[in-house]
Chains A and B, each alone.
Chain A
Amino acid sequence: MIGEVIVVTSGKGGVGKTTTTANIGTGLTLKGKSVVLVDADIGLRNLDVVMGLENRIVYDLVDVVEGVCRLRQALIKDKRYPNLFLLPAAQTKDKNAVNPEQMQKLATDLSEEFDYVILDCPAGIEQGFKNAIAGANKAIVVTTPEVSAVRDADRIIGLLEASGLRNPMLIINRIKMEMVKRGDMMNIDDMIDILAIDLLGVIPDDDLIVVSTNRGEPVIATEQSLAGQAYRNVVRRLMGEDIPFMNLESDDGFFKKMAKLFGLNKKKQ
């Protein structure tokens, strides 16, 4: 069995790479897949905190690459899901502690044992980015509806294609539909026009993301969260299902919901 190796990248920082990695990983494991999340952000690790596993780290990615420990020893089993593992980054080293060849070998080793290997790429286009994409055979580009994030995503897509990672998939994160409607935020079609890659999902801005990140519990497991629902759809699309994009405008507010309710009632009458 050779699993898929997916890198989650963005160029710009703070757009939600780590959150996306955690949620997609958790989502895939909820679908019965075995998943390993790899934090490639050496020196600025965060994925362990988002997963709530920070106090279990003994060995890390650099220890594995340097042969200090075996791969199995460094993998941290998630506290909720038995088929989800994390390979944490080292915090006291920097990106130059590993090279792309080592990452490639690591990704290959992991893909032999897991259905999905998801790499959380650091921001930027330097060594850390080159390391993270070295072993990947699929890429997910995360962006937010801001010109700066879209420009960086465009640059990243170019670099991915140059290194042989064709057809990356796009996730638009933190969209606020009411702002888009007012024309205050870039809309989805504009972004797809510029970036010209397949859309994997649109994640609405959701306060629950902050809560879940601070708690170390990915939001995808929260039923009532809109962002969680969006991530669940992303996961199903990633597994090859054809899921229509959800209507994000359903979150319109109290009055519209009431109006809809009355509308339904009228029809019934």
Chain B
Amino acid sequence: MAENAVIFKGTKDGLYIILKEEMDLDTIKYNLDKKIKPSKRFFEGAKVMNFKGKELTQEEFNELKEVMEQEYSMTVVGNYSDKTHFVQEERSAVKKPEILEQIPFENVHKGEALIVRTTLRSGQLIQYKGDVVVIGDVNPGAHIKAVGSVIVMGTVRGIIQAGANGDYGAYIVAYKMQPSQLRIGDIITRSPDGMGSKSDNPEIALVEKGMIVVEPYLKNK
């Protein structure tokens, strides 16, 4: 009977004890005892924020509080009057906290990014007005055309076009850079014929002196 007459619930504020509504006080006490007794050491000294669920009278609350503190050496932090207050607060806490912009320095590039969480295969074309982040590979024959920069958390084997509107400041970063072609602005480079040298380290492609250069992104690795 009443397996969950009493439920212990840990929240980020602390421990709550949820009492099933239709239980009388004796049943609750019996169930509390049944739950706490076997692991009394564990509960010793624990702070109970408050009770929840069943509406308690002032007397019932005091009685339970006494039981908790005397028999199980636990402390009940909340007061009877807090009870409704706590419940309300939790409900309002569901609302997402507003994330405010906080950037420690100026001149940070802010733009819209498209995040693609899949491998792009041959024939798939992504055109986007901002930055593109691919969590996956870009296979041969796949094509990314971004007005902003492109980041690939995987291997690039296809064609990546960054700064499609002519922005030479755009760049391309990839875990493994083996593209058939890279384009930044209107500059085009292609990988050398033959297998060429393959780097196993992340690399970044950017425009330097009118040419696209690819260099290691993690220099000390």
A52 touches B180 (CB 8 A): no
A55 touches B125 (CB 8 A): no
Q: Which residues of B114-149 are within 8 A (CB) of A?
A: 122-125, 140-141, 143
Closest chain A residue to B127 by CB distance? A92
Please tell me if B106 contacts chain A, counting CB pairs below 8 Å. Answer: no
Selected contact of B181 from candidates A45, A57, A79, A92, CB within 8 Å: A57
Known: A92-B123, A92-B124. A54 touches B188 (CB 8 A): no
Selected contact of A58 from candidates B123, B124, B179, B188, CB within 8 Å: B188
Contacts of A54 in B (CB 8 A): 140, 180
A-B contact pairs, 12 of them (CB 8 A): A45-B141, A54-B140, A55-B180, A55-B193, A56-B181, A57-B180, A58-B188, A79-B193, A91-B123, A91-B141, A91-B143, A92-B125
Q: Which residues of A5-49 are within 8 A (CB) of B?
A: 43-45
Contacts of A92 in B (CB 8 A): 123-125, 143
Known: A54-B140, A54-B180, A92-B143. A43 touches B190 (CB 8 A): no
Please tell me if B191 contacts chain A, counting CB pairs below 8 Å. Answer: yes
- Interface residues of chain B, those whose CB is within 8 Å of chain A, are 122-125, 140-141, 143, 159, 179-181, 188, 190-191, 193
CB distance from A104 to the nearest CB of B (A): 25
Q: A154-175: contact bitstring with B at CB < 8 Å (1 yes, 0 no)?
A: 0000000000000000000000
- Interface residues of chain A, those whose CB is within 8 Å of chain B, are 43-45, 52, 54-58, 79, 91-92
Contacts of B140 in A (CB 8 A): 54
Closest chain B residue to A216 by CB distance? B193
B124 touches A55 (CB 8 A): no
Q: Which 10 A-B pairs have the closest CB atoms?
A: A92-B125, A55-B180, A55-B190, A91-B141, A91-B123, A55-B191, A55-B181, A54-B180, A92-B123, A92-B143
Contacts of B193 in A (CB 8 A): 52, 55, 79
Contacts of B181 in A (CB 8 A): 55-58
**A258 vs B37: C-alpha distance when bound (angstroms):** 95
